[in-house]
Chain A
């Protein structure tokens, strides 16, 4: 009996041969997470949708960071109204306070936060290493002193996944052995191999694979050979998506983009690529051109709290006296609630006297990031992405000749020439 996918010609060709035994029914393939809707014909940019349990998410996508279950002073309703469909929670913070058991009782992180759309949690590893006292990485996991009470705790791959299972985010991350991108030497190789072993342990420990997508995280520092090795190993595992980790930590931009490109060259095209910790506008545009789909960064929300508003040509430091009598909105072409109602002069005055000013800026900065992604996606779908990039560079830097060299090189490697 011909398998359903064979056409009439093949059936005719087969007719004289003995009928092959029916193939065993294949195990049901997990529904693919990414649906690619358009591909840029010049660069590696893709537009698509992430088919997640709490609604489809158009990509490329920027995910605001909500650290402890809130996007810094913005309500869930405000975040949804801005068009956000997925945001981040930090496992380290939530895992320590209020703790996974309590969050689970509250209906998972979705119930606890009152967020009906998608969530992604990280593994907790990164904050552990950067925040916790006396953290020490062993094969078992990351050993650290609890900031509340000082007890010694171990965050193992299993524990990280189980916490994330309890939190219930739609996308969860493996625990990886993170080293700073400026680290060199055998530690980088050790961390890469360990991350592969920890990926396997995470996959084995994952209790809710049909509800939560577990992503692998490609490590290997700035060493192409190590990155390649990591990619080879990790792509052999059947995970729904891949993150590119260990970058955006102070390394040279010329090395940064080369590592991103190496990863996107070798990662399977039919699965989403999540570049962790990237959020500056130029970086986003370049990395979309290189083939990344998902991004997260604290930058837009953090910079809002310092009084900085993001605009296509850079940023406005609204605390500066130059804005005291500037009665224009932050960006005349921005349709966010802040720009529709308030002037730079008012925000400048308010910044000096009340924390509410920060919320206005957080709303605007998130709106800016999401609008940038939306515009990029639109241009990919409309086969206009290279023009978009050229316009973006002109608006931000004044002209292609003033574009930072690393970005120009990266775009050229991706197939986009600025002039």
Chain B
């Protein structure tokens, strides 16, 4: 894995080259991974995933799924990428699934816990490497203690997360050297420390001393940390890291937050956010075409209209309840206003769903609980999200990240889309 940077302006534009065990893959930066559940893009088979444009060349697997398959993979011998049916895709293995909650209080000095379908599994550093040897990922995060995200974290607990993670890292580095199956695999070190600046800096500096392939900014998931603290810590951490190694962050997915992280030196993100949008029956409709001119004014206006459409209509019949987690970047298709809306999910979108289907059809599928709703929404949401990253890279290339950011933030501020009828 080799990081090539084309410029460091308001963000790092570049490429992760020589990716994968074949050394032939590359990931454009800033970029995201393909989120999977059980090794498959959620709701999608190979054929439907194949209809999505811009699918990243790296798929994210989680140890929480893979650990239970340890024995199966050992017998299989040919590695997880082939096992899941993606032999030509590079695979990144994270510890946890970004979408599943991780109960707090289970990590120890010797082991971290992950949760699979059969429940909790305690994993020591050595067992962790055993499992990785069976998975044979192209790239993986080192086991770490990131249990600092639920509520108040004491200094002591923050310090422990750093100490434990460094200790795991050192053990794993030694085992990595002795593992021929993992010769082509790159291990990232996890930077922990909760919301304590001193600990974060210590973690960054110490991790950077080790021969890791890159860095994971961990413990920024969830909403316990105040926004300004989060951003400040991210900036402080990346300032301590070598420029020539990539930085990935877990648990950040909303468009505005992605931009904030990119501005603060983060390169790689997950793509669980479009999955969450899909699960709540929503479609991403935010714009990222910030180009000034009459067209943009219209599209900006359309964007504003989309998000506040028909606010005055009140239903007496069953009011579909939007998920409170819903963001201003989406529309809730189960809402009655879409029942006879024969336009595509998003005007101008070239995805499979928008080319063939209407909001009315998606509304019908959601109301009747049809499985196809998830399939079509996932196709659209993934494609839109991957396109967004393309737009970010374009903006960096044209030195216009500021304008993109302004456009995204103006959409973020309009407030929840279905405020008046959805609740």
Contacts and interface: CB of A to CB of B under 8 A. Distances in A.
B45 A360 contact: yes
Interface stretch (B234-242, B254-262, B358-366, B404-412): B358-366
B121 to A, nearest CB: 14
Contacts of A72: 370-372
B372 A106 contact: no
Contacts of B65: 349, 353
A68 B364 contact: yes
Interface stretch (A73-81, A164-172, A188-196, A382-390): A73-81
A342 interface: yes
Nearest to A358: B371
Interface string B40-76: 1111111110010000000000000100110110011
A353 B361 contact: no
Contacts of B48: 75, 78, 359
Given A69-B364, A81-B47, A337-B45, A359 B39 contact: no
Contact of B42 (A75, A93, A327, A354): A354
Contact of A353 (B38, B46, B374): B38
A70 to B, nearest CB: 4
A356 B339 contact: no
B119 to A, nearest CB: 12
B46 A359 contact: no
Interface stretch (A15-23, A97-105, A117-125, A249-257): A97-105
A345 B361 CA distance: 35
Contact of B364 (A97, A345, A357): A97
Given A70-B370, A75-B372, A353-B38, A106 B361 contact: yes
A73 B356 contact: no
Contacts of B402: none
Nearest to B37: A354
B415 interface: no
Nearest to B376: A75
Nearest to A343: B83
Given A353-B65, A356-B43, A113 B361 contact: yes
B45 A346 contact: no
Interface in B368-390: 368, 370-372, 374-376
A343 B84 CA distance: 8
Contacts of B51: 75, 77
B43 A355 contact: yes
A352 B76 contact: no
Chain A interface size, under 10 / 10 to 19 / 20 to 34 / 35 or more? 35 or more
A298 interface: no
B46 A98 contact: no
B357 interface: yes
Interface string A62-74: 0000001110111
B47 A337 contact: yes
Nearest to A338: B45
Interface in A310-351: 324-325, 327, 337-338, 341-343, 345-346, 349-350
Contact of B76 (A102, A327, A356, A360): A327
A356 B40 contact: yes
A114 interface: yes
Given A73-B372, A75-B372, A325-B75, A114 B42 contact: no
Interface string A349-392: 11011111111100100000000000000000000000000000
Contact of A106 (B42, B45, B358): B358
B367 A97 contact: yes
A114 B356 contact: yes
B18 interface: no
A356 B41 contact: yes
Contacts of B376: 75
Contact of B45 (A112, A325, A363): A363
Nearest to B44: A356
Interface string B147-163: 00000000000000000
B352 A337 contact: no
A47 to B, nearest CB: 29
B342 interface: yes
B226 to A, nearest CB: 34
Contacts of B295: none
B42 A342 contact: no
A368 to B, nearest CB: 16
Given A81-B47, A356-B42, A76 B356 contact: yes
Nearest to A116: B356
Nearest to A337: B47
B117 interface: yes
A72 B369 CA distance: 10
B85 interface: yes
20 contacts: A73-B372, A75-B372, A75-B375, A76-B356, A77-B47, A78-B45, A97-B367, A97-B368, A106-B360, A112-B360, A112-B361, A114-B356, A325-B76, A345-B76, A349-B38, A349-B65, A352-B38, A353-B65, A354-B37, A357-B38
Given A68-B368, A93-B368, 13 more contacts: A68-B370, A69-B370, A77-B47, A98-B363, A102-B339, A112-B360, A114-B356, A325-B75, A341-B46, A355-B371, A357-B38, A357-B40, A359-B371
List 7 A-B pairs, minimum CB-CB distance, nearest first.
Answer: A73-B371, A353-B38, A70-B372, A114-B356, A354-B37, A341-B85, A354-B38
